[in-house]
């Protein structure tokens, strides 16, 4: 009933949540946000925890300023804030270092490897994901792992819908190539190249 | 066809384009194989969603809670 009411045109901009309930709902998303943040930061725990903390606080500030208008999909909204912050920071770092966001990242540090890979369900895939450039990794994490719609990912990444599609294709192609030797070694069916 | 196969693997095609892709797939073994590999990769990626869940460290949770309380207090404070 609440969802139905929220869809009515005259209720669109009426906040249905109290700040206390909004705060609780944000905190309920912390686990999903941390999973995304850890993969974005390639297993760097402190920056990942920082990202989640900042995201929750910024979302609450936006709500109090009545700037939260995403009816229903709070999870996608929080992931958008988190990804935006991560990529902005990366752009700043890379600008200082003279490289862009499409650059292949350096190898994983020992502590990051422990966090990302030691208990991974699919270690080869986690390694292949961590080796993707930031922009491609963020796209595939949002769409394939976190299940956001293309349009939600486009907003989070600040890119057009068509670029989401092309990044997804490129990211999957790189993952596919990276996983081929492993798949063959484990007896999985070696697949043909994407045309 | 690359972009269309990607969208087909994600089940995001509809209408005429979907029919065109299905028709092409019925006649092209190379694209069928490519699609199968895309779907297999996507399933492996989706499986990563069920990785062991962990939440914020207790000190971060405290900081978030403190920030929420402070922001709410400021928000409710009547303008002087």
From first to last of its 80 residues, chain B has per-residue pLDDT tens of 777 888 888 888 889 999 999 999 999 999 999 899 889 999 999 998 877 778 899 999 999 999 999 999 988 876 66
User: Residues of B near A (CB-CB distance < 8 A)?
Assistant: 1-3, 5-7, 10, 12, 30-31, 33-34, 36-38, 40-42, 44-57, 60-61, 63-64, 67-68, 71-72, 75
pLDDT at A68: 86
Q: Which of B33, B56, B67 sits opposite A34 (nearest CB)?
A: B56
Q: Hunting for tokens 């299940």 — which residue is that?
A: A147
Of the two residues A170 and A182, the one the predictor is more confident about is: A170
Q: Give A75's pLDDT tier (boundaries 50, 70, 90).
A: very high
Alpha carbon distance A94, A14 (integer Å)? 41
**Contact residues on chain B for A165, CB-CB shorter than 8 A:** 3, 6-7
Cβ contact A172–B49 (<8 Å):
no
d(CA A130, CA B48): 13
State mean pLDDT over A80-88. 95
Mean pLDDT of A115-140: 86
CB A54 within 8 Å of CB B56: no
Q: Do A179 and B2 touch (CB under 8 A)?
A: no
Give pLDDT, residue A59: 96
Cα dist from A190 to A147, A185, B5, B12, B57, whole Å: 26, 10, 18, 26, 41
Query: What is residue A118's predicted lDDT score, i.e. its pLDDT?
Result: 65
Share the mean pLDDT of chain A.
81
Q: How confident is the model at residue A26 (pLDDT cuts 50, 70, 90)?
A: very high
pTM of the model: 0.80
Provide the pLDDT for residue A189: 44
The more confidently predicted of residues A182 and B76 is: B76
What is the distance between the alpha carbons of residues B64 and A60, in angstroms, rounded to a whole number? 10
Q: What is the reported pLDDT for B18? A: 92
Q: Do the Cβ atoms of B75 and A19 come closer than 8 Å?
A: yes
Whether A71 shows a pLDDT value over 70: the answer reads: no
Chain B environment of A145 (Cβ under 8 Å):
45-46, 48-49
ipTM over 0.90: no
More confident residue, B24 or A70: B24
Nearest CA in chain A to B7: A165
Of A144, A166, A193, the CB nearest to B42: A144
- Chain A residue with minimum CA distance to B4: A165
pLDDT of residue A34: 94
Percent of chain A at pLDDT > 90 equals 53
Query: So what's the pLDDT on residue B79?
Result: 62
pLDDT band at A99 (very low <50, low <70, confident <90, very high): low
What pLDDT score does B11 carry? 84
Handedness of CA B63, B67, B73, B77 (dihedral sign): positive
């Amino acid at each position: 009933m609440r969802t139905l009411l929220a869809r009515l045109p005259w209720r669109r901009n009426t906040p249905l949540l109290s700040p206390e309930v909004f705060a609780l709902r944000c905190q309920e998303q912390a686990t999903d946000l941390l999973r995304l943040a850890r993969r974005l930061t390639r297993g760097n725990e402190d920056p990942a925890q920082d990202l989640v903390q900042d995201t929750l606080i910024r979302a609450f500030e936006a709500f109090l300023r009545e700037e939260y208008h995403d009816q229903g999909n709070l999870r996608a909204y929080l992931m958008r804030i988190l990804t935006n912050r991560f990529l902005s920071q990366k752009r700043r770092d890379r600008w200082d270092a003279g490289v862009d966001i499409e650059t292949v990242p350096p190898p994983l540090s020992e502590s990051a490897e422990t966090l990302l890979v030691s208990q991974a369900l699919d270690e080869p895939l986690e390694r292949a994901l961590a080796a993707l450039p930031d922009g491609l990794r963020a796209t595939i994490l949002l769409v394939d792992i976190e299940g956001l719609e293309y349009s939600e990912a486009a907003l989070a990444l600040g890119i057009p819908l068509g670029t989401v599609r092309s990044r997804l294709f490129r990211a999957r192609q790189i993952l596919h190539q990276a996983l081929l030797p492993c798949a063959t070694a484990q007896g999985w069916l070696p697949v043909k190249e994407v045309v | 066809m690359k972009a269309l196969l990607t969208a087909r693997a994600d089940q995001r095609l509809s209408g005429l384009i979907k029919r065109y892709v299905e028709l092409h797939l019925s006649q092209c073994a190379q694209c069928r194989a490519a699609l199968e590999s895309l779907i297999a990769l996507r399933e492996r990626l989706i499986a990563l969603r069920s990785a062991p869940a962990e939440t914020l460290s207790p000190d971060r949770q405290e900081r978030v809670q403190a920030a929420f309380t402070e922001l709410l207090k400021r928000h409710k404070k009547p303008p002087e």
